[in-house]
Each structure stands twice: as C-alpha cells, then as structure tokens.
C-alpha cells in the first residue's frame, strides 16, 4: 500500500532561476582563463603557501610579461576563419568536486569557416547539408 502522506524530497536543492544559472555558466567560463589556471597551479600544484593575494600578483606580473613578448593581435599562427578554443583533453578524467579551473586544458584550432565553405556559397546548398559538412570536419 502506498502512503500518500510521504513528501517528495528534492535531491537538487540549488536555485534554478535564470539569474543563478547564468551566474554558474559565467563562473565556469571564467574559470577557463589562463589567469585562473595559473593561479590554481601555483596554489594547488606547486604548494605556494604565501597566500592567494601574493600568488595573484605574481600571476598578473607573469601575464603582462608574456603579453609583452608574444603579440596575440598579430594572429600569425591562425588562418582567417579559424579560432583557438581551450578544450579538455581526452585523457583528462572528471572527478568529484573538480572544477574547470583545476582541469588541464589544451588549445585546439577550430575551423569556423573553411575554404570549402566559401566555395559552397557560390552554389545554392540547403543549410542542413552545409551544417552536416561542418560537423564532419
């Protein structure tokens, strides 16, 4: 016999409003930045125990040094129609409580629009077929 007085206990007690979902999405993407990855390595991997504020200052100094020596605005290693996306490698396994800031990332060059896509614009092709060709890449 089923007891109708039992209350349902929701397992997920997080707030599911649009604002909090957008905030969680923002924090995940923010954790992918080079600054946060270096800060996590300083504190967790290298055992830096002088504090987060000092580690943050060191990471900021390192990033300004890298920006002085490498010109990212030149984009000499990226062809037109490509972009660099920092993706999680296949051999990086998830773990309980592991955030994206603690995950190893690998830069991947993605073709957003290729030479073949530009050539296909000359002939009328259905947009579904064009999407299938992009997905095959």
pTM of the shown model: 0.47
CA angle 133, 136, 137 (to 5 degrees): 95
Q: Identify whether residues 90 and 134 lie together within a single domain.
A: yes
How confident is the model over 76-97, as a mean pLDDT? 82
| Domain total in the chain | 2
Given a contact cutoff of 8 angstroms between Cβ atoms, the answer to whether 87 and 106 are in contact is: yes
Mean pLDDT computed over 56-78? 72
| Other CB atoms within 10 A of residue 59 CB | 19
Q: Same domain, yes or no, for 66 and 84?
A: no
Does the residue 3 lie in any domain? no
Residue 74 scores a pLDDT above 70: no
Task: Classify 86 in phi/psi space as left (phi over 0), alpha (psi -120 to 50) or beta.
Answer: beta
Domain assignment of residue 85, given as a range: 77-137
Q: 113 falls in which pLDDT band (50, 70, 90)?
A: confident
Asked if residue 126 belongs to a domain, the reply is yes
Are 35 and 63 a contacting pair, CB within 8 Å? yes
Percent over 90 (pLDDT), the chain: 8
Q: Is the pLDDT of residue 3 over 80?
A: no
Domain final residue pick, 34, 55, 70: 70
């Amino acid at each position: 016999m089923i007891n109708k007085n039992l209350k349902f206990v929701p397992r997920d007690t997080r707030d599911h409003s649009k604002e909090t979902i957008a905030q969680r999405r923002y924090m995940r993407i923010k954790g992918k930045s080079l600054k946060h990855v270096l800060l996590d390595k300083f504190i967790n991997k290298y055992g830096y125990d002088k504090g987060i504020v000092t580690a943050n200052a060191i990471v900021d100094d390192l990033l300004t040094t890298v920006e002085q020596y490498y010109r990212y605005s030149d984009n000499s290693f990226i062809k037109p129609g490509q972009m660099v996306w920092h993706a999680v490698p296949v051999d990086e396994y998830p773990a309980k409580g592991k955030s994206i800031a603690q995950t190893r990332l690998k830069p991947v060059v993605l073709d957003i629009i290729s030479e073949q896509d530009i050539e296909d614009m000359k002939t009328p092709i259905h947009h579904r077929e064009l999407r299938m060709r992009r997905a095959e890449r």
